[in-house]
Structures are given as C-alpha cells and as structure tokens.
Amino acid sequence: MFAVTAARFSSDDPLSALELGEHAEPTPAEGWTTVTVRAAALNHHDVWTLRGVGISANQLPMILGCDAAGVDADGNEVVVHSVISDQARTGDETLDPRRSLLSEKYNGTFADQVAVPRRNLIPKPAALSFTDAACLPTAYLTAYRMLFDKSGLQPGSTILVQGAGGGVATALILLGKASGFRIWATSRSEAKQQQAIDLGADQAFPSGARLPERVDAVMETVGEATWSHSLKALRPGGRMVISGATSGTMPPADLARIFFLQLSVVGSTMGSRDQLARLVTFCEQTGVRPLIDRTLPMSEAKDGFEAMIKGELFGKVVFTT
C-alpha cells in the first residue's frame, strides 16, 4: 500500500526525513482492526517526528499521521481516536503512563490502511465529511479539552489564543466562539490577524502586543516565544492552559508573577475517547466545521509538510487517499 513515512530524523531539515512510497499492509493484532483511510490530517506532531522528537531510531521507518477518518472492516464510516492505551484500562486513556499516539509506537494514518484497537473507533455521522472528521482527533480534540475541561471557565469569559494560525489555535477560535466565549487572538502575521477576525475572533493583535484588558485564560501552544506575554495577559487568579511549545520549551518561568497573582498553569494533552465522541456531536449540533487550509492527495503530502514547516498555514492540511 501507499504510505508516508519518517525514514530517518533531521532536526534541521525535517523534509529530508520524509519518504513516500510502498509499505507492507498492516496485520491487526488481537482486539485490533483495519481501517481504510479516506482522509488524514497533518499535525505539528508529524513534523516533530521527522525531527526525531518523541520517537527512537529503532522504530524507523514509521508511518506518520495521528488523525484519520475512514471505513472499518465491516463497512462502517468511522473516526479514529489516536490515543493507544493499555487494552485493559478504563477511564481517561491519556492518563495511562504507557499510552502513545498513532505514529509513535504503532504505524500512523498516512497510508491506505491503518491498524487500530477496535475500541478506538467512533462512528462518523453522515453530516461530517471524511475531510472534516479527519481534523478532529488531535487538533480539535486538544482544543476541546483545553476549553471545556481544563480552562474551568464559563461562557462569556475572555480567552486569549496565542498564534492564531495553527491547527489547535483555529480550533480554539471556532469552538470557543460557538460556545459563547469572548475570543482574542494573536499572530505574528498581520494577514493571519485578519483571518482570525474573519473566523470569529472578537479582536486580534500582533504577537506580544499590549491588550486592552487582562483575560481570564490564555490558550498556549506556541511556548517560549509567547510565554511571557501569556503570563502578563492574565488577570489575577487567571489560568494558562498549555498543550504545546512549538517555539521552545524553556522560557523564563517568572515565578513571582505566578504566585503573587495566584495564576494557574495547567497542562493539557489530547482528550479521551469519550471527549472525541462528544466533540463529534458538538460539531453535528452546532454546525461548526474544522477550518481546512488545503486538501491534498496523499501523494502530494510533501507540499503540506513544507507549508507547515514554513508557518504558512491558517488551519488544517488534510490528505486524501
């Protein structure tokens, strides 16, 4: 079958680690099944894998891709939950210390077929296209948990989204706006600030700009480049929810500000299978659909990776088979 793999690692030139070509079809283990992939979405996670983050060399070549929507062995249309936890485990799969995402220990979704545990499949409603559904399992699920679980906020609160253009960030804008939050966003790019407004943000600012007032919570995926601004943007008692650090993981902590203003910093990773099922229902109920920057045939996956690495995207890249 056709597959998009990490063949090696390169921290400086991740595109050089990408290979497209033939790969053996999956043989599902006990309790697993095979999904024929119809659409698979790109995440920054796939770029990290090419850079050698979160994976070791003895696992290469590894088929990339966390997200997919497709058709299962019985002909049902499904969305794949990417978090692989111990089969015997109940409750939040992301809290299993040995959990992984597809493409970390087990081959991922950028292929004609992917093997997954049967319990990781969620029915895809007819109202959602395969390309829309493929965007949900990582970026949109992460945004869902950040907003509705980890922020602790009620609708009407003001939320700052750092780095408006990203997959998680655009998901935060769309889901937050549909739920009655006041959404402010920042971006390095003036064009993306306007795109954030067009998408539903109430106001957009250049990265690091002084805000009209302090916010109840900041949604942080950028990391080092925006950390200090995020802390300064919070009202006393406010909360930063962090799920990523694209620009670096070691900013100055500014501990005095955190304790004097009684700020909370809360980590967030992916979401449970149950939350993914509720996210699917949320999209059905509200009519919200993922923002897709571009859809490409999987054979042109390299172009999507290149756009993500260059920071050109506003929304998701989806590969179709």
Ligand X SMILES: NC(=O)c1ccc[n+]([C@@H]2O[C@H](COP(=O)([O-])OP(=O)(O)OC[C@H]3O[C@@H](n4cnc5c(N)ncnc54)[C@H](OP(=O)(O)O)[C@@H]3O)[C@@H](O)[C@H]2O)c1
Contact status: 179 vs ligand X (CB under 6 A): no
Please give the size of the binding site for ligand X, defined by CB under 6 A: 33
Q: Is 41 in the site for ligand X (CB under 6 A)?
A: no
23 touching ligand X, by CB under 6 A = no
CB 287 to ligand X: min, Å:
22
Q: What is the 3-state secondary structure (H, E, C) of the chain?
A: CEEEEECCCCCCCHHHHEEEEECCCCCCCCCEEEEEEEEEECCHHHHHHHHCCCCCHHHCCEECCCCCEEECCCCCEEEECCEECCCCCCCCHHHCCCCEECCCCCCCCCECEEEEEHHHEEECCCCCCHHHHHCHHHHHHHHHHHHHHHCCCCCCCEEEECCCCCHHHHHHHHHHHHCCCEEEEEECCHHHHHHHHHHCCCEEEECCCCCCCCEEEEEECCCHHHHHHHHHHEEEEEEEEECCCCCCCCCCCCHHHHHHCCCEEEECCCCCHHHHHHHHHHHHHHCCCCCEEEEEEHHHHHHHHHHHHCCCCCCEEEEEC
Stretch that binds ligand X, among 16-24, 27-35, 106-114, 181-189 (CB under 6 A): 181-189
From the CB of 113, what's the least distance to ligand X, in Å? 24
CB of 170 to ligand X, least distance (A): 8
Closer residue to ligand X in complex, CB, 151/243: 243
Comparing C-alpha atoms, which of 168, 194, 172 is closest to residue 181?
172
Q: Which of these ranges, 32-40, 138-146, 150-158, 212-220, lies near ligand X under the rule CB under 6 A? A: 138-146
Q: Which is nearer to ligand X, 45 or 177 (CB)?
A: 45
Task: Among 291, 308, 319, 321, indicate the residue that binds ligand X (CB under 6 A).
Answer: 308
Q: Tell me which of 131, 142, 272, 321 binds ligand X, using CB under 6 A.
A: 142
Q: Work out whether 269 is an interface residue with ligand X (CB under 6 A).
A: yes
Interface residue with ligand X among 179, 246, 272, 321 (CB under 6 A) is: 246
Q: In angstroms, what is the minimal distance from the CB of 271 to ligand X?
A: 8
Rule CB under 6 A: choose which of 35, 168, 234, 279 binds ligand X. 168
Cβ of residue 18: shortest distance to ligand X, in angstroms? 15
Residues of the shown chain interacting with ligand X in the complex, contacts defined by CB under 6 A = 43-45, 48, 138-139, 142, 163-169, 187-189, 192, 207, 221-222, 225-226, 243-247, 269-270, 308, 311, 313
